A and B are shown apart, each in its own frame.
Chain A
Amino acid sequence: MPVCPFCEIKLGSWKELAKHFNDMANNRSDSKHVMWLNRNISINRMGIDELEYSLENFFTKPENLGLWIRKKFIEKFYGDKPHPFIIAMQNPTKGVLLGYVIEHQHFLKNWVKILSSIVFRTDKDDVMMYELDNIKVEFIGYESKPSHYELLIRMGESLGMSREKILSIPPLPATRSAINTWRKIAETKSWLETMAAMHSLELVADRSLVKYGAKLPYFNPSILVSDKYPQEVKDFLREGYEADISHAGEALDMIERYAEEMGLKEEVQVVVLKSFDAFSKYLLARLERGFEIEPNLIKEVFYR
């Protein structure tokens, strides 16, 4: 049953949803509904019939939930206009990488806290195993390998910033706002919606996205063999590059299966879109931190 992605009320049909949007956006100029339409459907006003068609298409094609999430992720981050952070990662400067380190430490700590909430609330053993394994890889380390969190800090150190300095820097407002979005999801939504909100984001490093239409990889893989970058940078990037290719796909399979079982497909779609918006904001925060470190970076990013 169609759900309003902002109010989260259920409506009886796509026509009813279109009428709801028409009333909220066109008659009341409600900023939340207008913004949702601008970001997801079109910036151009539509009549009810056209809006009904567009909304139905948006939410029902492709029908497979895992594929739908992949497609929306690509459109948002890897489409005709890839996210500026992804573009910057094709040839990252020291400022870009340090911005990544400083903001991502906060993201990663929050990540494992939210995954812990999924473990606490789910009644599915495979989900528990998956999340505990992910917490181990991200924050604890495994098979004598350092965690992603530790590799991130080492990357920052290799770029000339001390561990103490990295750990002392609070998140930018945009990172804090994104983290609050994910915390709110974890506090108010089911474990499944929380799982979908988080693990859909791991698609960012999934190399198979190119097969589904992504215009760029997460970063230029030649970095991994380049002499331009310290070994610690390559170690951090390689971990994500090798880990997330099957990882995100495994999560999407579980999300799809349990969404069907629990009758939460539309709710999952709505929360995934919210999470993507927060993620976009957060990726930009990594760049903004880079602007502080390298003032010229802003011109390279936006006027290249």
Chain B
Amino acid sequence: MKIIVNGKEAGTKEKGCALCGATWGEYYEDVDGQKLFFCCDICALEFTNMVGEVKRRNNWNRIDELVINGNYYIGRTCTAKYQEKEYRFYVKFNENGGIETFKEIS
């Protein structure tokens, strides 16, 4: 999965956290067979919850590309791509890494 966070590629220690783009910390999580870098366990949990929700709602078995814009304060507007399909959504998390708000954007 190719991940773009606020205009920059992310998901490795060099490029930054797969959810927020930060380069602090060092935490790894396997997502769909890919070892992704996160700055902390909460970002990892939020990311896996978000990916799971997108796959569940679309009945996809994976995501090819995920573009994330935003941050903790304002929530995140995202575009997920799988093959030729594209899915836009807004997501915001609660303090425990759970999804608090998820809205599809048509």
The reply to whether chain A is a binding partner of chain B is yes
A residues touching B (Cβ–Cβ < 8 Å)? 25-26, 28-31, 34-35, 37-39, 43-45, 76, 83-84, 173-174, 177, 277, 280-281, 284, 288, 291, 298-299, 302-303
Contact with A along B26-56 (1 / 0, CB 8 A): 1100000000000111110000000000000
Query: Which residues of chain B are near A28, meaning CB under 8 Å?
Result: 25
Decide if B23 touches A43 in the complex (CB within 8 Å): yes
B residues at A contact (CB < 8 Å)? 16-17, 20-27, 39-43, 70, 72-75, 77, 90, 92, 94-95, 100-101, 103, 105
A83 and B73 contact, CB distance less than 8 A: yes
Q: Are A177 and B24 in contact, with the CB atoms below 8 A?
A: no
What residues of chain A lie closer than 8 Å to B73, measured between beta carbons?
Answer: 39, 76, 83, 277, 280-281, 284
Q: Tell me how far the C-beta of B37 lies from the nearest C-beta in chain A, rounded to whole angstroms.
A: 10
Query: Number of contacts between A and B (CB, 8 Å)?
Result: 79
Q: Known contacts being A38-B22, A43-B20, A298-B90, is A173 close to B100, with CB within 8 Å?
A: yes
Most buried by A among B27, B70, B74, B77: B74
Q: Are B24 and A37 in contact (CB-based, < 8 A)?
A: yes
Kindly state the separation between the CA atoms of A281 and B100 in the bound complex, as whole angstroms: 12
B26 and A26 within 8 A (CB): yes
Q: Please tell me which one of the listed residues A38, A174, A302 contacts residue B39 in the complex, with CB atoms under 8 A apart.
A: A38
State whether A31 and B40 are in contact (beta carbons under 8 Å apart), knowing that A177-B95, A302-B77 are contacts in the complex. Answer: yes
List the A residue with the shortest CB-CB distance to B103.
A298
- Shortest 6 CB-CB contacts between residues of A and residues of B: A29-B25, A31-B40, A43-B22, A31-B42, A45-B23, A34-B40
A31 CA / B26 CA spacing, docked (Å): 11
Shortest beta-carbon distance from A302 to chain B in Å: 5
